Amino acid sequence: MCFITPVLRTIAYQTPVNVRGLEKSVNSELNLASFCQSTLPFSVKPPISTPADEAIVLHYLPFTLHNPSVSVELTRNFSIIAHIDHGKTTLSDRLLEHTQTVSQREAQEQHLDSMDLEREKGITIKSHPVTLVFNSRDGKTYKLNLLDTPGHVDFSYEVSRSLAACEGAILIIDAAQGVEAQTMANVNLAMEQDLAIVPVLNKIDLPAADVDRCRTQLEEILAIPGDHAIPASAKQGIGIEDILEAVVELVPPPVENPDGLLRASVFDSLYDAYRGVISYVRVVSGEMKKGDKIKLFHTPTNYEIKEVGHFTPKMTKTEKLQTGDVGYIIANMKSSAEVKIGDTITHKDKPCREPLAGFKEIRPMVFSGIYPIDTSDYEALKVAMGKLQINDAAFTFQTESSTALGFGFRCGFLGLLHMEIIQERLRREFDMDVISTYPSVIYEVTKTDGEELIVDNPSYLPESQTIEEIREPMVRIFIMLPGDYIGDAMQLIMEKRGELENTETIDEFRVLLTAVVPLADILVDFNDRLKSMTKGYGSMDYEHAGYRAANMVKMDMLIAGDPVEAFSTIVHRDKAVYRGRELAAKLKEVIPTQMFVVAIQAAIGGNIIARETISAMRKNVTAKCYGGDISRKRKLLEKQKKGKAKMKAFGKVNIPQDAFIKVLKSGD
C-alpha cells in the first residue's frame, strides 16, 4: 500500500475525486514536503492549508508523478517576438497565470523581468526561459518551454541564438499600430531559423484597434495568412487559451538525433556568487545529468555538471535534461567568459564530431571611455566592472589613462542602449559616479606599409601621412513611417551621410525606407530625431552592413596650444568644421576665464579649422589713479600688458573636472 503523507491525506480528504486517482501512481518514497520545496516553482510549504495552494499542488502532482520525463512528442519550444511595446512581456505574464505556473499571490507585472532597470524601462535585457505545463483540449499534458528574449536591436545576436533554440515563435502585432520595422526584422530572423510562426493580434480591446487592416498587412508585408492570426488582449486575458492551443498544434516537437550523442546549445549565462556560472541551454540531442563530464567546443577546459534543472520560472532541480528540454546547468565554471553564447556542449568521453551551426564570437560595436569622477574610486570601479563582466560576456573593458580625466577604462558595448544600461547599473548596483567620453566605433585602417589595424580609440589612430585607407562600419536601416514625413526622413538620412536604397509603399498610410548609413552617425541622436519629426509614429531597425572606405580624419582640440586627448574624435572630413565649431563653442562656455587670453582651437593635423577665444580676466589697475597725468595710467596699463604676456608664455590652463563632465554629457 502506498504511503501517503498527512498533507496529501488532507488534500485527498478535501478533494477526494482529484487525488484518489493519484494514490496508485504515488511512489512509496514520496515526500510531499520535499516535493513542495524542490519541485514547485514557488514557495508552497507544508502544511498546505489554503485552497489556492491545494490547487497548485494538485496541478503539478499529476505532471510530476505521471510524467517524470515527458516524451519529446509532447514538448514544444517557442519564443515570443514583437516590436517594442507591442505586449510581449504582458502576454508572457498571462501565459504564466493561465498555466498556473505562478500562483495568484506571486503574480506581478513583468514577472520574467527580474531587474529593476527592466521594469522601469519596460524592456527585456536578459533572457528568461520558463517551462509551462499545459493540459490541452486533446487530453494530453504538454511541456511548453518559453524563451523570453530581449527585443532591442543591440541584442540581436542573443535573440538569434535564442530563436535557434526553438521550433516556433509567437508573433505579436499591436492591433492599433500594425506591422512595424522591428516586426519585419524579427520575422526575418525567425524565418532564417525556419520556425513555425503563430501570429497574434494583440490589444484588440483598444478603441483604435483595426483587426482587418492588420490581417491585410500580415499577408501583404510578411506573407503570413491573415486568417491564421489569433485576436487577443494580453491585458484583459482574451484569447490566451487559443494561443496555447495554437502553439501545441502548429509548433513541431523537437527532432531527436539517431546517434544519441549529447549536443546542447548555450543561449545565455549568468553568474551567481555562491553557485558560479549558470548556463542556459537547449538540449538538441542526447541527455545530461549531474556528474556528467562535459566540454565545450570553443573552450579547452573540461567540466563536471553539478546540477541540472528547469525554469518554473524559478530554477528547479531535475534528474536530467533530455532531447528537446530547455533548462540550466551548473558546472565548475568561475566566469561567464568560460562559456560563450552559441557554443555547443557535448560529453567529454563520447563527444559529437561537429558543433552546432551558427556560432560566432560577440564583438563590441561601440566604445567609450568610462572614468570615475572621484579619482580615489578607481579601484572600486575596476572591481565593479569585473563583476558586471561576469554576468555580461558582451561587455569588455581595459585600463587606459588620460591626462585630463586620470585613470579609467576603455569599454566595449553592443550598442548605445547596452552602454546606457551598463552605466546605469554601475550607478545603481555599485554606487559609482562615472563620466563617459563621446562614443566611438571600430575603424579598420590600412597603413602605407600594408599593415592592418583595428582602431577603437582616436588616440591610437596613426599619423595621416602613414594611412593608406580608413574604413568605417556601415548599417542598413529600415524606417517605417507615415508617407507625410518621407521628405523629412530622406533629409535626415542625407544629413547623416546615408544613401537611400529603396522606398516601398506598405499601405495607404505608411512607407518603408531602406538606407545604408554610417554607424557612427546614428549612434547618438538619429532615433530621437526620427521620433520627433514623425510625432512618434516612425519606427526604425537596423542590421550591420560591413565596412566602407571613407575620408575620415582625427580632430584634436587645442586649449592654449595644448591638445586635450579627452576631446579628440574621428570624424568625416566634410563634417569636421561643423563638429569643431560646435565643440569649441561648448568649451568656451565651461572653461573659466584666465588672467590671459585663451585660444580654443579645433585642428586636423597642423590645420586649424575652428576657433573660439576666451577673453582675459581684466583688473582695473588704474582704479587708484584719481586724476593727474595720463602717462601714469599708460605706464600701469603697459606693465599689466607685459605681465599678461609673461603669463601666457609660461601659464597653463587648468581645466576643471566639471568642465569635462558638462561637455561630454552634452555630447551623449
Q: What is the pLDDT of residues 348-370, one digit of tens each?
A: 888 888 888 766 667 787 888 88
Show the cell assigned to 311.
Answer: 525554469
CA dihedral 275, 427, 667, 421 (to 10 degrees): 30
Cis omega (within 30 of 0) for bond into 41: no
Position of cell 531559423? 193
pLDDT higher than threshold 60 for residue 59:
no
The DSSP string of 482-536 is EGGGHHHHHHHHHHTT-EEEEEEE-SSSEEEEEEEEEHHHHSSSHHHHHHHHTTT
The DSSP string of 562-586 is EE-GGG-EEEEHHHHHHHHHHHHHH
pLDDT higher than threshold 90 for residue 199:
yes
> Average pLDDT for residues 222-237, to the nearest whole number?
88
**Predicted local confidence at residue 556, as pLDDT:** 86
541 burial level (CB within 10 Å; 0-12, 13-18, 19+): buried
Beta bridge partners of 556: 603
pLDDT higher than threshold 90 for residue 386:
no
pLDDT higher than threshold 80 for residue 203:
yes
CA distances for 330 relative to 270, 275, 303, 316, angstroms: 10, 7, 10, 12
Grouping H, G, I as helix, E, B as strand and the rest as coil, residue 121 is helix
> Average pLDDT for residues 624-634, to the nearest whole number?
69
Show the cell assigned to 131.
Answer: 517551462
Cis omega (within 30 of 0) for bond into 656: no
Quote the DSSP letter at residue 306.
E
- Choose between 71 and 367: higher pLDDT: 367
Give the pLDDT band of residue 399 (cuts 50, 70, 90).
confident
135, 123 in Cβ contact below 8 A? no
Neighbours of 465 (CB within 10 A): 7
Among the listed ranges 37-41, 49-53, 247-251, 585-589, which one has the minimum average pLDDT value? 37-41
pLDDT higher than threshold 90 for residue 638:
no
> Average pLDDT for residues 90-119, to the nearest whole number?
63
The CA distance from 222 to 179, in Å, is 9
> Amino acid identity, residue 179?
V
The CA distance from 64 to 131, in Å, is 13
Tell me the Cα Rg of the chain: 31
Query: Which residue, 351, 193, 333, is CA-closest to 264?
Result: 351
Q: What is the pLDDT of residues 210-223, one digit of tens each?
A: 899 899 888 888 88
Please provide residue 591's backbone torsions phi and psi, each rounded to the nearest 5 degrees: -80, 125
230, 248 in Cβ contact below 8 A? no
The CA distance from 211 to 383, in Å, is 52
> Amino acid identity, residue 204?
I
Average pLDDT, the chain: 77
The CA distance from 549 to 571, in Å, is 13
Q: What is the pLDDT of residues 432-479, one digit of tens each?
A: 888 877 778 889 999 999 889 988 888 888 888 888 999 999 989 888
**Predicted local confidence at residue 67, as pLDDT:** 40
247, 271 in Cβ contact below 8 A? no
Quote the DSSP letter at residue 209.
-
**Predicted local confidence at residue 401, as pLDDT:** 79
Inter-helix orientation angle 156-164/181-192, to 10°: 40
471, 465 in Cβ contact below 8 A? no
**Predicted local confidence at residue 180, as pLDDT:** 83
% the chain with pLDDT above 70: 75
What predicted TM-score, i.e. pTM, was given to this entire model?
0.69
Give the pLDDT band of residue 506 (cuts 50, 70, 90).
confident
Q: What is the pLDDT of residues 547-569, one digit of tens each?
A: 999 999 888 888 877 787 777 88
**Predicted local confidence at residue 45, as pLDDT:** 43
> Average pLDDT for residues 278-294, to the nearest whole number?
89
The CA distance from 220 to 200, in Å, is 16
131, 312 in Cβ contact below 8 A? yes
598, 559 in Cβ contact below 8 A? yes
Q: What is the pLDDT of residues 113-158, one digit of tens each?
A: 444 544 444 455 556 788 888 888 888 888 888 887 665 666 666 6
CA dihedral 619, 625, 629, 635 (to 10 degrees): -30
331, 304 in Cβ contact below 8 A? yes
Q: 18-51: buried (b, 16+ CB within 10 Å) or exposed (e) per residue?
A: bbeebeeebeeebebeebbeebbbbebebebeee
pLDDT higher than threshold 70 for residue 391:
no
